[in-house]
Amino acid sequence: MAPQPLTETDIAEALSGLPGWTLEENRLVRSYGFDGHLPAVAMLVHIAAIHEEMDHHADLALGYNRLGVAVHTHSAGGRVTELDTRLARRIEEIAAGHGAR
């Protein structure tokens, strides 16, 4: 069965456990800052590995010392699903190890 869009209540509950993440235009978004470029690149590569493991992919925007992450589910009409909250949590778990703030 295709993943179903979460309700506003479900999303609010998920966001309460995801500090720094917000809902913008039907996407869960977060911007991370780093002490330079390579730590941002390293986290991007780590996230790419998680994407492949989960078969679920965020949109990533790499800057000099910033990494923007936006997650939504294409197959749910671009809405937020359980897959997105799961991916956001996986990304949060690795953030501190990359010096992200």
Q: Does 27 help bind ligand H2B (rule: CB under 6 A)?
A: no
- Supply the minimum distance, in Å, between the C-beta of residue 64 and ligand H2B: 26
| Residue 18 backbone dihedrals phi, psi, to 5 degrees | -130, 80
Residue among 74, 69, 43, 41 nearest 56 (CA): 74
Diameter over CA atoms, the chain: 42
Token digits of residue 70: 């936006």
Run of H or E residues at 85: helix 82-95
Nearer to ligand H2B, 34 or 58 (CB): 58
Number of residues that bind ligand H2B (CB under 6 A): 6
Cβ atoms of 21 and 13 within 8 Å: the answer is no
Looking at the Cβ atoms of 39 and 50, the one nearer to ligand H2B is 50
Nearer to ligand H2B, 76 or 95 (CB): 76
Report 49-78 residues binding ligand H2B (CB under 6 A): 55-57, 73-75
The footprint of ligand H2B (CB under 6 A) covers 55-57, 73-75
